[in-house]
A and B are shown apart, each in its own frame.
Chain A
Amino acid sequence: MAEAANFKAIGTRPIRPDGIDKVTGRANFGADLNLPDMLHGKVLRSPHAHARIKRIDLTKAQAMEGVYAVISSADFPQEVTSSLSKNILARDKALYHGHALAAVAARTPRIAEEALERIEVEYEVLPPVLSLDDAMRERAILVCEDLRTNDDESSPPSNVAATQRFERGDVTKGFAKADVIVQEEFRVPSAHQGYIEPHACVATSNPGGRVTIWCTTQGPFEVRSATAGVLNKTVSDIKVIPSEIGGGFGGKTVVYLEPVAVRLSELTGKPVKMVMNREEVFRATGPASATLCKIKVGAKKDGRITAATAWLAYEAGAFPGSPVGPGCMSVFAPYDIDNFLVEGYDVLVNKPKVAAYRAPGAPQSMHAMECAIDELAQELEIDPIDLRLKNAAKEGTIAPYGPKFPPIGLVECLEAAKRHPNYVNKPSEEVGRGVAVGFWFNIGMQSSAEVNIAEDGAVSIMEGSPDIGGSRASMCLMAAETLGVPYETINAHVGDTESTGFCNLTGGSRTTFATGLAVVKACEDVIAQCKARAAMTWELDVEQVDWRDGQAVPRPGVNIDVEPLSLADIAKTMSRTGGPLLGRASLNAQGAGACFSVNWTDVTIDRETGKVDVKAFTAIQDAGRAIHPSYVEGQMQGGAVQGLGWALNEEYIYDDNGVVENASFLDYRVPVASDMPMIDCEIVEVPNPSHPYGVRGVGETPIVAPLAATSNAVRDLLGFRINDLPLSPPNVLAAIDSTD
């Protein structure tokens, strides 16, 4: 691996290649495409959280002037019975308020909306299941009558879709050895990813059955396979063209509109555009799980943890599949613990199906653990960072979820925190400080990249990972470093499913790591070709040619007097040396390398209103290697503020009938500029040995620690703990009043 000091491009902060289009309004996002003769699609949604659908009558809507097609789930292939299909259009039951029931394609959005009102639905309204407690109690109302825990046919139907359990050592003996034991329960509410751009797509189908979809997504190839699955088509019938994407955070890994738009286009023979409004985004797209986490941790006087247990229940929404698995695997991940037991429950409720949200599963369970660690630190009177250092996982530690950690940067982050001036300066009396640690596994998966060299030597990268936060710049930097050419001569493009090789979605913090790896390898392919062509030109063997600083040069010791050949020189004559220069790579990247962070926040509380103000926030995180440090900081800052929003304000408020009462940005309050301080960042670099430049994914981890850091800061200031989030003014005020 190259040394940091030797890098020319990596670690610099140039302007992203797609930047000018994005600051001048030229960039095209999901809702920006219009096609000639295009229709507009709208969705009818259930006004009940739980209801049997006895009859849907589409005839009146179909008869309206300007209406071209009206569909319900009966117009989807019935042999496909996946949860995804039933989520996109409800079959026999509406399972949450906002569940899609039918859809209209009409000449204008206005006509489509009017047509929705003429669709007649007869419901048998059922009582909804709205909390983990209700869902898990005996003889609970069932969201799905034939669901059995872990598919075990011998057990009775249940709302618990799956359980899991793993343990090590002997927790009874471990707790017996403890001098102090902390035992608490914590609730975290559902939070929405809150991307500013709503879901949007345009679909068009030709009479031969070929389909083209333009849409905003984290994964065009996943849209292709999901749409094919729901509509029982083959993937090769479908082409997906990703637009620019206005935020996703996991929420745009799922399809909601695309199969509906395709079906409407098939029936009408015209392009159909569908755009959600904000209310639909809140009611019908996946938030993160609401959770109940019960934690018990025991430690010796010196701070060494002797045993820990976690009981974790995660709301999945109306269909199985909460991220309780990763929640269980991450809860103790930062620590080296000999005796532990983790149990997890994936629980159905009458709410929208949850979707991935940044480090899916980890913020909730780690909030509980990091609060418990803070309680231990208080009781033992040990500095919270020292206590974590005493138990921190490092290279060689057996992770609680099984494997042995390769090189990781938790200890380095904790040590950097201890040295950091923001930590060394102790807060004043009126300010509370809370510390917490964050973690995410990171993933690799499949990526492809092509690198084309133009006749003037300019480099064009084609890859398939939607650029959600500046990844084109990172790709160009890695290409610049590998090829040895200036950043400015490189551009990066995100292709569609037919112009680029397969790429898994942008998510799990995999893009800079895995697609970056493909770009590096594709550049190496170009270099190999350049060396061969230089060798041809100089009548040398290819082994006698080196690539240095963007030029082919004879290897030291080769006795020949020639001028070096730059990439541009070779490109100029490529027609004579074998034709276009085109490098390619495709791979299934392994070894993404876990990412740890340490955050702390300083808060004040207005005891009259219960309002918590964040005065300062510091994030320290191991990036492995920061390719473009500004965008790494951007991930840390953006994740921190999302975590702070979750800690302080964000939650879904349901009435007794399961209707979301705050489905707008006015009532679901995400942080605004005046709520937040600057977010100070320090990037730690413990290189990932599985990447040529040492990259680790950095996008997920930042949201994890702010939840507990905020709780711990409030605990520090109040002198007692409020276990449940959010720490919103009414909740904090109620807690203060109850202790007075």
Chain B
Amino acid sequence: MARVVFPDHLHRFTDGTHELEVDCSSFRQLVQILEERWPGIESVITSTTVAIDGQLFQDAWFEKIEPDSEVFFLQRIEGG
């Protein structure tokens, strides 16, 4: 099960849940599972930066998630 971590600004969507184990094989699947559980979260988590096993993604979708993966939702990072 992948470990999924939500920072504070997402807690109002996750009923305060900080961390979750999710059984999924891709980021798209993870988004579907989270949206089912907390309707409305999809648009927020798909517009932020996500880190999957240390790699930052601005627009993840088909990225693989392994059973021992760590997924972090971050603030969107832009640049100057």
Contacts and interface: CB of A to CB of B under 8 A. Distances in A.
Interface residues of B, number: 24
A166 B5 CA distance: 11
A441 B58 CA distance: 12
A326 B77 contact: yes
A154 to B, nearest CB: 10
A443 B56 contact: yes
B9 A163 contact: yes
Interface string A14-28: 000000000000000
Contacts of B9: 150, 162-164
Given A164-B9, A402-B72, A249 B80 contact: yes
Given A165-B8, A443-B56, A356 B79 contact: yes
Nearest to B73: A402
Contacts of A399: 54
A700 interface: yes
Contacts of A700: 79-80
Name the interface size band of chain A.
35 or more
A506 to B, nearest CB: 9
A181 B80 CA distance: 34
Interface string B29-59: 0000000000000000000000111111111
Contacts of B7: 164-166, 402
Given A165-B8, A166-B8, A405 B54 contact: yes
A162 B12 CA distance: 12
Contacts of A249: 80
A152 B11 CA distance: 12
A699 B79 CA distance: 9
A297 interface: no
B65 interface: no
Interface in B56-77: 56-59, 63, 70, 72, 74-77
Contacts of B15: none
A509 B78 CA distance: 10
Given A165-B8, A166-B8, A404-B70, A445 B77 contact: no
Nearest to B80: A250
A326 B75 contact: yes
Interface in A140-175: 150, 152, 162-166
A359 interface: yes
Nearest to B51: A403
Nearest to B74: A401
Contacts of B80: 193, 248-251, 253, 356-360, 507-508, 699-700
Contacts of B72: 401-403
Given A163-B8, A402-B74, A510 B54 contact: no
Contacts of B53: 403-404
Given A163-B9, A164-B9, A403-B70, A360 B79 contact: yes
Contacts of B79: 250, 356, 359-360, 440, 442-443, 507-510, 697, 699-700
A260 interface: no
A661 to B, nearest CB: 26
A328 interface: yes
A402 B58 contact: no
B69 to A, nearest CB: 11
Interface stretch (A89-97, A365-373, A586-594): A586-594
Contacts of A326: 75, 77-78
A441 B50 CA distance: 12
Given A443-B56, A590-B55, A329 B12 contact: no
A406 interface: yes
Given A405-B54, A590-B57, A507 B78 contact: yes
B78 A403 contact: no
A165 B12 CA distance: 13
A731 to B, nearest CB: 26
Contacts of A150: 9, 12
A66 B80 CA distance: 40
A583 interface: no
A443 B12 contact: no
A328 B54 CA distance: 18
Contacts of A152: 12
Interface in A384-419: 399, 401-406
Contacts of B70: 402-404
Contacts of A405: 54
Nearest to B8: A165
A554 interface: no
Given A401-B72, A445-B58, A592-B56, A360 B78 contact: yes
Interface in B1-30: 5, 7-9, 12
A708 B64 CA distance: 40
B75 A404 contact: no
Contacts of A443: 56, 58, 77-79
A405 B78 CA distance: 19
B14 to A, nearest CB: 13
B5 A402 contact: yes
A325 interface: yes
30 contacts: A162-B9, A163-B8, A164-B75, A165-B8, A250-B80, A251-B80, A325-B74, A325-B75, A326-B77, A328-B75, A329-B75, A329-B77, A356-B80, A360-B80, A403-B54, A403-B70, A403-B72, A404-B54, A406-B54, A441-B56, A441-B77, A442-B79, A443-B56, A443-B58, A443-B79, A508-B77, A508-B78, A590-B55, A590-B63, A690-B55
Interface of B: 5, 7-9, 12, 51-59, 63, 70, 72, 74-80
Given A163-B9, A592-B56, 4 more contacts: A163-B8, A329-B75, A403-B53, A690-B55
The 6 closest A-B pairs by CB, nearest first: A508-B79, A325-B75, A250-B80, A402-B72, A403-B51, A404-B54
Interface of A: 150, 152, 162-166, 193, 248-251, 253, 323, 325-326, 328-329, 356-360, 399, 401-406, 440-446, 507-510, 588, 590-592, 690, 697, 699-700
